[in-house]
Amino acid sequence: MAPNPTNQSNSILTLNKLELRENGFKSMDEAEKLRENVLKPMDSEQLRENAHKMVDFIADYYKNIETFPVLSQVEPGYLEKLLPDSAPNHPESLQNVLDDVQTKILPGVTHWQSPDYYAYFPSNSSTAGFLGEMLSAGLNIVGFSWVTSPAATELEVIVLDWLAKMLKLPEHLLSSGQGGGVIQGTASEAILVALLAARDKVLRKVGKNSLPKLVAYASDQAHASMLKACQIAGIHPENIRLVTTDSSTNYALSPDVLGEAISKDIAAGLIPFFLSSTVGTTSSTAVDPLYALAKIAKGNEMWFHIDAAYAGSACICPEYRHYFDGVEEADSFNMNAHKWFLTNFDCSPLWVKDRSALIQSLSTKPEYLRNKASEANMVVDFKDWQIPLGRRFRSLKLWMVLRLYGLENLQCYIRNHIKLARHFEELVASDSRFEIVVPCKFSLVCFRLLPAHNDQDCGNKLNQDLLDAVNSTGKIYISHTVLSGKYILRLVVGAPLTEERHINAAWKVFQDEATVLLGGV
């Protein structure tokens, strides 16, 4: 008979000899052994002991991170074969679980923190960000209203004002005016809440039955979250204008083309209401001309959103801040501290000019959440600025990043990555088999292997094969995009551990695999 501690007062932790025997334990030793393994739901000393073990596990992971294939090389369904098909009845030891993490989970992990990770955009972990996550998980408060932990709301307001100042955002996006900042989970949520606020604002004016007439605009380089936000908000698919861009503007949205599209829609009786612009598009880090776009948006009473999810971080450096010119006119502005700003995922600050528009769309006031501070309008309740009700104490990690590194070190961090990206760009440019597709603006290099003259699909398959080849080595991980029909390789420098030696090694992987593909071996 298996040990069967069926209730708390009769648990393995408190049984005497006789009870142990009744519960199926052969000896005190056996019980002692299990007893050691059994965690109480919460106990400060058990937490201390086991969390120290976990710290060492994680520190060792970083110590050895270069030994793993960057892109996981497992096959779909691999884990099902390694784990049981139901949860255990009895507790297991932490050591067992950590062994499983090492042997079963880590092989299925794609190592975003590896210095050789160059795919998509980065997702920075840092010591400061990790410590902030620990503290937030330790306190485990749910900060939906001010009263549920005043410090969570107030620190978020303060830290987002700090960050706004670092980015030199206009005064009216700060908490002192009609606007303010809020930490969203992701840029997708940020653009969604902005779009909802814009939708409801215009519908309050023109009547809710006009929803089918609302038109939203962005470039065809805008992130897919724009399209998804429109779908969620019920914007008709045929009223979503993803304006075509090309290499003539380096894939930035052309104000002229946008203006024409808007005029045409107005003439057709439609209602333009939302314009999303991007500083640093996903495919090629294109920068839309904010100032000119803002003018169009204002002229047509449209909500003007700026998505600077990736490149926003760079604008803490004075030499990149000019990309934000025009932000003075933004109704909402978003960047992801969890991308390239050393703040562990997730942390996506959003600033709005008119917080009341957001609150009107998203607030709920059920009786069971009412409290004196909220009723008196003395406080911010961030539940009314976001989709979910509950929210983590995410400002802690951003606060710790800002304090433990400081502005100047953060600027160095960004500049170093940009320097490394330029170095990679030079390496590519020095090899005549390759071409740089768009000039490197931040830390993304868009390039490709040049096809032979008789290549029927202009090198698309060739570059797809090169992508697969380099990623299959496990030595680096990159991703791709398509620009004007061309399949392009994207290498983004942005992992905290990446150094020049990694960039040089990465380039060698491309050269070697290209040589193989081109039949040079």
Rg of the Cα trace of the chain? 27
Strands (E), 353-399: none
Strand order in the sheet with 348-352: 180-184, 348-352, 332-334, 303-307, 271-278, 214-219, 240-243
The smaller minimum CB distance to its own copies, of residues 159 and 243, is found at 159
Q: Would you state the torsion angle of the CA atoms of residues 277, 278, 284, 285, taken in this order, to the nearest 10 degrees?
A: 150
Q: Helix, strand or coil for residue 273? A: strand
Q: What gap in Å lies between CA 511 and CA 475, rounded to an integer?
A: 13
The smaller minimum CB distance to its own copies, of residues 128 and 311, is found at 128
DSSP 447: E
The smaller minimum CB distance to its own copies, of residues 192 and 294, is found at 192
The set of residues, in sequence order, having a beta carbon less than 8 Å from that of 171 and lying 6+ positions away, is 177
Closest CA to 233 of 277, 202, 256: 202
| CB of residue 514 to its own copies, shortest distance in Å | 20
The smaller minimum CB distance to its own copies, of residues 283 and 300, is found at 283
The smaller minimum CB distance to its own copies, of residues 389 and 516, is found at 389
CB atoms < 10 A from the CB of 154, how many?
A: 15
The smaller minimum CB distance to its own copies, of residues 269 and 366, is found at 366
**Residue reference for tokens 């604002």:** 201
The set of residues, in sequence order, having a beta carbon less than 8 Å from that of 305 and lying 6+ positions away, is 191, 194, 195, 198, 274, 275, 276, 277, 330, 331, 332, 333, 334
The smaller minimum CB distance to its own copies, of residues 151 and 505, is found at 151
On the question of a cis peptide bond just before residue 346, with omega within 30 degrees of 0, the verdict is: yes
The smaller minimum CB distance to its own copies, of residues 473 and 511, is found at 473
| CB of residue 295 to its own copies, shortest distance in Å | 29
Q: How many helices and strands (H and E) does the chain possess?
A: 16, 11
| CB of residue 44 to its own copies, shortest distance in Å | 4
Closest CA to 194 of 205, 206, 204, 181: 181
The smaller minimum CB distance to its own copies, of residues 142 and 261, is found at 142
- Provide the token pair at 282: 């996903």
| CB of residue 275 to its own copies, shortest distance in Å | 20
- Provide the token pair at 172: 């009216």
The smaller minimum CB distance to its own copies, of residues 191 and 330, is found at 191
| CB of residue 129 to its own copies, shortest distance in Å | 8
| CB of residue 30 to its own copies, shortest distance in Å | 16
Q: What gap in Å lies between CA 368 and CA 403, rounded to an integer?
A: 37
- Provide the token pair at 261: 């599209």
| CB of residue 299 to its own copies, shortest distance in Å | 27
| CB of residue 389 to its own copies, shortest distance in Å | 5
The set of residues, in sequence order, having a beta carbon less than 8 Å from that of 91 and lying 6+ positions away, is 34, 37, 38, 39
| CB of residue 116 to its own copies, shortest distance in Å | 14
The smaller minimum CB distance to its own copies, of residues 294 and 475, is found at 475
Q: What does DSSP say about strands 444-449 and 348-352: parallel, antiparallel, or unpaired?
A: unpaired
| Helix extents (H) in 237-354 | 255-267, 290-299, 337-340
Here the contacts of 85-90 (C-beta below 8 Å, separation 24 or greater) are: 89/2, 90/2, 90/3, 90/34
The smaller minimum CB distance to its own copies, of residues 109 and 518, is found at 109
| CB of residue 478 to its own copies, shortest distance in Å | 11
Strands (E), 358-496: 434-438, 444-449, 479-483, 486-492
Q: Which amino acid is at 308?
A: A
Is residue 483 within 8 Å of residue 499, measured between CB atoms? no
The smaller minimum CB distance to its own copies, of residues 72 and 250, is found at 72
